Amino acid sequence: MNSEHMLDMLRSQGGFCARSGSPMYGELFDLVAKDVEAGGMFASILSGHEDEPSRQAVPLRLLGGLHRLVLDARAPELRRWYPSTGGSWDAGAAWPEILNIAASHFDALRAALHQPPQTNEVGRSAALIGGLLRINREFGLPVRLFEIGSSAGLNLRADHYRYRCAESQWGPADSPVTIDDAWRGVPPPQAGVRIVERHGYDIAPIDVTAPDGEMTVLSYVWPDQHTRLARLRGAIEVARRVPARLERLSAADAVGTVTLAEGALTVLWHSITWQYLSDAERDAVRARIEALGAQADAKSPFVHLTLEPARDGPGAPIRFLVQARRWPDGELNVLAQCHPHGPPVNWQ
């Protein structure tokens, strides 16, 4: 196995997890990297994937598959080490057992490498709904919401979550999802937003109202991040009572189905999705967005709202920006900057 690229992906992902509040995954990715470097069990599991581009997130696929084994009790001996199942992480004690599980569930972990990451990060709703509140202050119209890369469609229910910040709160007080420290700077307007249609599109949509779907989305959350897990479990509860239409379509095909409607604001949004699209698919999505913008007018406006990474130039640091382009005038605005998981969202 030519492991240099794989080692770089594993260590980079581990560093990112550690910096983002998951010391467990920081340590675990480092252990996996050392095992791969030594030609161990994980080198065999990852064999054939060494040339995958970083945007495919192979390391997250691997540990998502391992977490799934813990959550659905196929690896009960690891539950005492996983905080998501009530355990306490101890890298030195857990690692020998993880190697044993990897050997006994080799095929399951290999199969997990072919599953697109399904992060379903509910915290991103703080960026998306905050952006929509700012935008709809101008229009004041009912919203038809469309999302590409929606996975289980949890962010389509963003208006049913509670957002707290130093200056204010927004959203239903009895929501099972509370996002603390959601907004900094000038918070979004306190006006309401009425979402009258919810359409989600993904190449592998997940039905979280079914046990298998719930387990799948939970498996991609880093096990020692209790706040993220709690938000996700609450969002699954919301999804059971707030319907949203999910369809299995590529981003390009999905955007091709979007139409405008008089008397409503049509919104296409996505978050941390762009990196997973091919160049050809990005071009197709851009072309369709431009076509929709050309059709928009004062009675049937259109907005493209995103939370995606951006760079000011080669070698510049990556920033995660909330941006909106609205038609009929086509104006593009940077609204905020935040972590890729969402809060706190720092408004411009």
Q: What is the dihedral of CA 6, 63, 151, 282, to 10 degrees?
A: -10
DSSP letters spanning 117-178? P----GGGHHHHHHHHHHHHHHH---EEEEEES-TT-GGGGGGGSEEE-SS-EES-TT-S-E
Q: What confidence score (pLDDT) does residue 188 get?
A: 78
- What is the pLDDT at residue 189? 77
Amino acid residing at 285: V
> Contact 50/3 with Cβ under 8 angstroms?
yes
pTM of the model: 0.85
Residue (of 12, 305, 330, 334) closest to 148 by Cα position: 305
Q: Is the pLDDT of residue 118 over 80?
A: no
User: 117 CB contacts (<8 Å, ≥6 apart)?
Assistant: 57, 60, 61, 64, 220
Q: Characterize the bridge pairing of strands 302-310 and 319-327.
A: antiparallel
H or E segment at 58?
helix 58-71
Confidence of residue 122 (pLDDT cuts 50, 70, 90): very high
Q: What angle do CA 78, 25, 278 make, to 5 degrees?
A: 115
How do residues 2-14 score in pLDDT, each as one tens digit? 579 999 999 999 9
What whole-number distance in Å separates Cα of residue 228 and Cα of residue 243? 22
Instruction: Using DSSP, state whether 77 is helix, strand or coil.
Output: helix
Note whether 335 and 348 are within 8 A (CB): yes
More confident residue, 315 or 331: 331
Tokens coding 324: 């909106």
Least confident of 78-82, 117-121, 302-306: 117-121
Domain 122-347 has CATH 3.40.50: yes
Radius of gyration of the chain (CA): 21
Contacts for 123 with CB less than 8 Å, ≥ 6 apart: 179, 228, 231, 339, 341, 342, 343
The boundaries of every CATH 3.40.50 domain in the chain are 122-347
pLDDT at 2: 57
| pLDDT, average across residues 320-330 | 96
